[in-house]
Chain A
Amino acid sequence: MELFTILLLIGLVVCAVSASLAKNLLNTLLIFMAFSLMMSMIWLLLQAPDLAITEAAVGAGVDTVLFLLTLKTIHALKGTRFDKGHDEKH
């Protein structure tokens, strides 16, 4: 059990570093979502189910939606049709 916990914690650090280093903003966001899910598992291991359910609903749910909407507004989502022409040129 302890090993699993430590693996999860190492996973958190890896996610945090790669979210902060990733080039593509969408990748950053997806990694951050994984971070939230792992965090929610850690809350369960720390015997805090209230936090787990809140973190899952908020970190992986609402926060991600808000980030995605922001990325859409600022045209950072590659492959959406607005940026197609733009990408081909580069």
Chain B
Amino acid sequence: MRPFYENLPFLCIFLAMLAGITTSILHSGKWAMRISITVLTVVGAASAWLLYATASQNTYFVYAMGKFPSPWGNELRAGPLEAGLALVFCIVMACSLLGGLQDIFEDILPGKQNLYFVMMDMLLASLLSMLYTNDIFTGYVFIEINTIAACAIVMAKDNNQTLVATMRYLVMSLLGSGLFLISLALLYSITGHLLMPQLGESIHSLFVGGLYNEPLTVLVGLMVLGLAIKSALFPFHSWLPDAHGSSTTASSAILSGLVLKGYIVLLIKIFYRVFNISEVRSLKVTNVLFVLGALAMIMGSVKALQEGHSKRMVAYSSVAQIGYIYLGLGLGIEAGVVAAVFQIIAHAFTKPLLFVSVGALSSTAGHEKKWYYLRGAGRRCKLAGIGFTVGGLSMVGIPLLAGFVTKLYLAQGATLAAWQTITALAVLAVSSVLNAMYYIPAIVQIWSSGSTCQEIGIEPKVRRADPALAVSILVLGAGVILLGVCYRPVVSVISAGLALL
């Protein structure tokens, strides 16, 4: 009999799945929402317990799904990194749902609101499985669940733009899944295993023996490409602005904040557990990731600079922020990966904060999303204005906010890197300036006096933050500030978790 907390990852995944199945027969969206929030709370509490249990003993455990251990049965694996990320994902998902609640009930027809929450529960289950899985084929199955659920929450708004965006998103995602599956087939053919520990051992021996070098290079390339398409790395980002910019507020927040990160976490797990980071570096994959990450940081910001539509601007900024994560991975050293994981957490708090705030701000101008018409919106919904300001400044990299710490650690990592130092520092500086060039005018615009939305016949109205919105913005904002002020414990948990991977 193992200690009870070791059952938690498995129970959390099944709780989320069964909640989704139950929700599908409810008639009321309100009850579906309550079930989702309850599940998120329970899973969050369980993850906190797991984090405490694993971080305090600095240990990890594997959990065989059934009585057959690896390499025969499916397995889960949990350590401080997985538990911590699960906790972050639960908090962010709950806050995004609360912050976008009003929009969900306005945008979706009453008969279909419960189905939206089915997707949310399944999304949670798939994210948790992608975090905890120790089996690469389980990873594939849950990537597919994640894809379908993510497409469904884009199209839930059910207007023309979201349907078109969903189609593009679906085509690109399925392409990514196909590439991932073919690389998985190659991996299986040369090792004969699917579970990460055995894969790691046999790949290590292949490296030492110099066998199957060509298939290994190809399969790493295909796997990275598949996951890069799904996580919108430049130049495969073309689907992202439409999908994230047109869907309902909560969907945008969750897609940008969490769904993209799920794939990257899986990629990091594969880098560490199937290969190890020095083998990946010797295959030159990290160099490609570094270049693409740097390009994404610049191009995403340039595109955002040209964008007058508020949500699309924030969505393009996600392209740039994903670039930061890949830049960190591309440094190919421990410090870079730590910075990348920190950026995953920081961005998971910041981007939903921005999306939720923009959603609330635009509701003061009749849901008009152009920056031009949002003049003075911050004065009409003060809390959302403050939320947007905090998030925007964090993106720019003002000290004491989460974004600054990411840049600090990325810069520190860059100084240790082999050849990337100068490029990384220059790109970081340019990207910060570009971020400032579009976030600062937006902040100025929402705090200016007067309003412009009368020009298109919309009467500006004052919106008092309802409790759900207030909780959401306060928790996410507090997260951004806390990550910026006391980041040391977070970084130490990340380093400990990575060392255990």
Answer yes or no: A and B touching, Cβ < 8 Å.
no
Give the interface of B toward A (CB within 8 A).
Answer: none
